[in-house]
Amino acid sequence: MLSKTQIKHLRKLTHDLKPVIMLGQNGFTDAVLNELNIALDRHELVKIKLSGSDREMRDQLIDNICEQTRSQQVQSIGKTVTIYRRNRENPVIQFAAK
């Protein structure tokens, strides 16, 4: 679980990110899950562009994505969500010491 300070740091890093994953009409398929896991392993912080206009469905999709990738939601603005999963073997993002 990320602390508020860590989430704040990740949100600052989010501003310069471009969406790596775009979920279209096919939705959250196994192929998308595989690509998302690769992106999380490499970058740790990943921005995803979602389709659909129903907010409740998007929220359910975000919960499903976080559950299946074992990641944590950092930020959600409109149809864009940013998630984070630490790479235990080779961390990319460093947090300040407490």
Q: Which domains does the chain have, with CATH numbers?
A: 4-84 (3.30.110.60)
The band of 98, judged by pLDDT with boundaries at 50, 70 and 90, is low
Q: List pLDDT tens digits, range 49-85.
A: 998 778 898 999 999 999 999 999 999 999 999 999 9
Mean pLDDT of 17-42: 90
Residue 50: exposure state from Cβ atoms within 10 A (0-12, 13-18, ≥19): buried
